[in-house]
Structure 1
Amino acid sequence: MTASIAPLDGIKVLDLSRVLAGPWCAQMLGDLGAEVIKVERPEAGDDTRHWGPPYLHTDDGTKTEQASYYTCCNRNKRSITIDMASPQGQALIVELAKDADILVENFKVGGLKGYGLDYESLRKINPRLIYCSVTGFGQTGPYAPRAGYDLMVQAMSGMMSITGHPDGEPGGGPLKVGVAVTDVFTGIYSCCSILAALQARHRTGEGQHIDMALLDVGMAVLANQAVGYLNADDIPQRAGNIHPSVGPYQDFPSKDGNVLLAIGNDGQFARFCAATGNEAWAQDPRFTRNSGRIIHRKDLQELMYPLMKTRTTAEWIALLEDKAVPCGPINNIAQAFEDAQVIARGLHVQIPRDAGDQIGTISTVASPMRLTATPPVVRRPPPAMGQHTDEILAELGRSPAQIAQLHSEGVV
């Protein structure tokens, strides 16, 4: 961190969550400068520590049993292992919660009440606590007791029904998105809600309970597809890579592969036509306006498919780049990280980890939040399981002998 103070410097977060949505939220808070303590189960740890392959490697290239998945959402945290099923473990978490500003958890509804770690119990000892619960279906409603995972919510929310190629086409049928988007979006919405609650606490002095549900978020991020149905009674269908309301906004076969055009307005289409020597297309009543290009999409595609095969992907990008016509390649992830713009923005971050496990360096993706005065900084690598247990216990006032006893009793 530079001389500037991080936005959330001095804010303490207790992360009782695991897998992706909750940890993603806590990681964002950590990126913004909060001190995050992640509580994990002894021996097992967060579920994602075992979600492999792929696995992390040591400095000499030896594959470990530590899954790389965990590292995507747990940087800027310290890890302590606590058996919360034991009374001593519960007491330790209560002690940590007394001094916390924020708590993030994703247990089943009511799952923490028996441990005395639910919001109503903890608010009695810390009324300023902002307590964020992340579940599949929320704290209310007939599905509240159910466990919820990203794939299930992608299916239930309708997201899979609009993702993939139409029935009858090669590869047709509903598909999930290639990343657990409802988990990630839930983490982002949770972080936004927590920041709003912090601002409210500045005025009231009181914390509050935040009820985040994957299904709520999955429905919300349907965005234009949802409101199109709600307002026009039009049930969206799968359309592959074609945008249902804008065109031409899709991929095309090029001379050497595929190229993507993202033409979002009439001016861009007119410039595309001029650049390719097809000014008449922009004057054609069928194609002059976006609405016409959607109605007559097939007619336009019949003209464009042969045209797009006349140049390579690189040639199309070179032709259109200075015409303000969005055009680009379809990269795999390796190609994306080799892209000049990705490199210029410093999106690949390598951080050393000294946890006695010979892992050495861990790679992660830089935070996309670019605050000019108080930028996010990767201060801590994703921790080894329980790496900071003794350190955190010492901060709670435990002596070396007391810490050793907690270890021997299996509390930590």
Structure 2
Amino acid sequence: MPSPTEPQHPAPLAGIRVVDLSKILAGPYVTMSLADLGADVIKVEHPDGGDATRQWGPPFNGPDSAYYLAANRNKRSVTLDLKSPAGQEAAHRLIADADIVVENFRPGSSLQEVFRYDRLSERYPRLVVLHISAFGETGPLRGEPGYDMVAQAAAGLMSLTGEPEGPPVKAGYAMGDLGAALFGTIGVVSALVERARTGAGQYLTTSLYESQLALHVNWATSFFATGETPARLGSGHPSLVPYQAYPASDGYFVIAVGSDALWQRLCALLDRPDLAADPRFRANRDRVVHREQLNAELERTLRGDTVENWCALLTAGGVPVTPIRTLDEVYGSEQTAALGMVQKVEHPVVGMLEQVAFPVSFRGERPSVRTAPPMLGQHNCEVLAELGYDAEAIERLTGPRPGPAAQDG
């Protein structure tokens, strides 16, 4: 797996400073994305244990969980008790020099009150603040806390996921958290562009719930058009057939037919001219209506050979197809390696640590993984000295200096 190379151009967000007051996944994923793009991100954590995801394991890699290590690279960690006057003063020193603050304080909490945007904006008018919540700023659920699966359930994703006769299933990824993170990142970068034009910062909000509604896309518009509540389709597509996983003799693979021309080609490759000629299946709208009958016919044919053979045949014939790969196959594949999507970085305890890189390249260069996810308080001395604190004040503020493994790097 390739290691990151030195970039030939400044990173897009070089010179931008972010104060990360968030925890768990949605907020930290926003700030990691900004850090990947070159921003200086300072992660503020409570001295007693820090971000809760540090303990979300097993698996662990060194002192922290794999979960924490997934969303916190390229940041510096500072430990402050934000409920104490001294901690709040230090946080304000950080914010005074920052462009962006990201937080997901619980609605109605004391910290949300202390760091209210109207107060921050009076002192720092150019500041961009992103607040991420579970259900948004208004409405009857605005004060409710929520985790990713709560959002997946409340916003309908689980009702659309799973086999038709099976129970609701959550998505394999944390789509509630990650959806909010992606929209939040877009919002922050857009606010920076607007600030360059107007000189003013602003308050941005998004939520796990809102992001899920935005990602419904065709599901929602179909519901608006028909008034019918969509049903679970397993791996099937609501508007295209065949477009799902099918069983071969030794496993499953995916066929994706997005046009009637591809359908005709598939029938020829499968040696099923009868399906191409059947009026129930001739056009996509007919195939959607007769989904069950068509899938039964296709399964009868496809069970007659292996995944490898079907994929080779259909790929050569120009029909989109792929085996359903497991993560060991994905990260061992030539395609993943060629893209440079896995980078290695030195961690002070575990040695070389693999990370999935940022998925956008700029001028042909992928943003680099510069530093490992920080250990708790790893950069206390470095960052607080930058703010003007001397060694004695830093120790009073954060406690004893971390051990050698966790000192400033």
| TM-score under structure 2 length normalisation | 0.93
Residue 76 of structure 1 aligns with an amino acid whose one-letter code is N
* 1:337-367 C-alpha deviation (Å, 9 max, x unpaired): 122212221222221113xxx2212221111
Q: 1:132 to 1:114 in 2, by over 3 A?
A: closer
Residue 155 of structure 1 aligns with an amino acid whose one-letter code is A
Aligned residues: 396
Structure 2 distance, partners of 1:340, 1:247, is 30
Q: Give the secondary-structure state (helix, strand or coil) at the position aligned to 1:187.
A: helix
Which of residues 186, 203, 210 in structure 2 aligns to 1:216?
210
* 1:74-127 C-alpha deviation (Å, 9 max, x unpaired): 111111111111100000001100111010000112435576322111111110
Q: Does 1:127 align with 2:125?
A: yes
1:42-81 paired onto structure 2 within 5 Å: 42-56=47-61, 64-81=62-79
Q: Give the secondary-structure state (helix, strand or coil) at the position aligned to 2:343.
A: strand
The Cα of 1:146 is off from its aligned counterpart by: 1.2
Q: Give the secondary-structure state (helix, strand or coil) at the position aligned to 2:286.
A: helix
Residue 11 of structure 1 aligns with an amino acid whose one-letter code is I
Structure 1 distance, partners of 2:275, 2:314, is 17
CA contact (8 A) 1:130 1:209 kept: yes
> Bigger shift: 342-351 or 208-217?
342-351
Residue 385 of structure 1 aligns with an amino acid whose one-letter code is L
Which of residues 23, 28, 34 in structure 2 aligns to 1:18?
23
Gaps of 5+ in 2: 1-5, 402-409
Q: Does 1:232 align with 2:229?
A: no
RMSD (Å), alpha carbons: 1.7
Partner of 1:150 in structure 2? Answer: 148
Partner of 2:136 in structure 1? Answer: 138
Q: Give the secondary-structure state (helix, strand or coil) at the position aligned to 1:377.
A: coil
Partner of 1:349 in structure 2? Answer: 343
Which of residues 34, 49, 68 in structure 2 aligns to 1:29?
34
The Cα of 1:375 is off from its aligned counterpart by: 3.5
Partner of 1:247 in structure 2? Answer: 241
Partner of 1:59 in structure 2? Answer: none
Q: Give the secondary-structure state (helix, strand or coil) at the position aligned to 1:393.
A: helix
Runs of 4+ in 1 over 4 A off after TM superposition: 112-115
Structure 1 distance, partners of 2:115, 2:338, is 45
Residue 208 of structure 2 aligns with an amino acid whose one-letter code is L
Q: 1:242 to 1:187 in 2, by over 3 A?
A: same
Structure 2 distance, partners of 1:407, 1:153, is 35
Residue 124 of structure 1 aligns with an amino acid whose one-letter code is E
Q: Give the secondary-structure state (helix, strand or coil) at the position aligned to 1:343.
A: helix
Structure 1 distance, partners of 2:53, 2:398, is 24
The Cα of 1:302 is off from its aligned counterpart by: 2.6
CA contact (8 A) 1:104 1:133 kept: yes
* 1:50-78 C-alpha deviation (Å, 9 max, x unpaired): 0000110xxxxxxx442110011111111
Partner of 1:185 in structure 2? Answer: 179
Structure 2 distance, partners of 1:346, 1:323, is 29
CA contact (8 A) 2:79 2:398 kept: no
1:2-401 paired onto structure 2 within 5 Å: 2-56=7-61, 64-111=62-109, 116-167=114-165, 172-354=166-348, 358-372=349-363, 375-401=366-392
Residue 269 of structure 1 aligns with an amino acid whose one-letter code is W
Residue 104 of structure 1 aligns with an amino acid whose one-letter code is V
Structure 2 distance, partners of 1:113, 1:83, is 11
CA contact (8 A) 1:54 1:68 kept: yes
Q: Give the secondary-structure state (helix, strand or coil) at the position aligned to 1:221.
A: helix
Structure 1 distance, partners of 2:263, 2:209, is 37
Partner of 1:404 in structure 2? Answer: 395
Q: Give the secondary-structure state (helix, strand or coil) at the position aligned to 2:18.
A: strand
| TM-score under structure 1 length normalisation | 0.92
* 1:181-214 C-alpha deviation (Å, 9 max, x unpaired): 1100100000000111111111110000001111
CA contact (8 A) 1:130 1:207 kept: yes
Partner of 2:3 in structure 1? Answer: none
Partner of 1:60 in structure 2? Answer: none
Percent identical across equivalent pairs?
39
CA contact (8 A) 1:6 1:375 kept: no
Q: 1:392 to 1:130 in 2, by over 3 A?
A: same
Structure 2 distance, partners of 1:115, 1:408, is 26
Q: Give the secondary-structure state (helix, strand or coil) at the position aligned to 1:252.
A: strand
Structure 2 distance, partners of 1:40, 1:113, is 13
> Bigger shift: 273-282 or 249-258?
273-282
* 1:233-284 C-alpha deviation (Å, 9 max, x unpaired): 1210111111121011111111211111111111211111122222342233
* 1:281-318 C-alpha deviation (Å, 9 max, x unpaired): 22332212111111122222232112111221111111
Structure 2 distance, partners of 1:290, 1:125, is 59
CA contact (8 A) 2:54 2:65 kept: yes
Residue 40 of structure 1 aligns with an amino acid whose one-letter code is E
CA contact (8 A) 1:110 1:118 kept: no
> Bigger shift: 281-290 or 197-206?
281-290
